[in-house]
């Protein structure tokens, strides 16, 4: 189920926003949610991750205000986070 395939008042899956579960974005419950958003601390599907991360405003804000301090991208998979931790 992709973004906007559901009405805004649709019931949420119990695994919404959890790793491997349903996407955290409103009106999307696509699975698997394999992308962790460091801003919201929730998990998103690949399509919503792309839409959110590469939105002009979001990308500029992250690159200007956050990435210089935290040193990682806005979204990461579990593998990317594990690799970053191993390389410290």
Task: Give residue limits of the domains in the chain.
Answer: 1-75
pLDDT higher than 70, residue 5 = no
* Cα 33 to Cα 83: distance, rounded to the nearest angstrom: 19
pLDDT-based confidence at residue 27 (cuts at 50, 70, 90):
confident
pLDDT higher than 90, residue 3 = no
Q: Determine the pLDDT at residue 4.
A: 58
């Amino acid at each position: 189920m992709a973004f906007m395939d559901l009405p805004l008042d649709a019931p949420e899956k119990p695994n919404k926003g959890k790793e491997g579960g349903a996407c955290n974005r409103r009106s999307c419950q696509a699975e698997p949610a394999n992308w962790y958003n460091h801003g919201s601390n929730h998990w998103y599907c690949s399509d919503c991750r792309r839409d959110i991360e590469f939105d002009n405003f979001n990308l500029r804000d992250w690159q200007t205000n956050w990435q210089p301090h935290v040193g990682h991208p806005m979204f990461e998979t579990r593998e990317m986070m594990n690799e970053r931790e191993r390389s410290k």
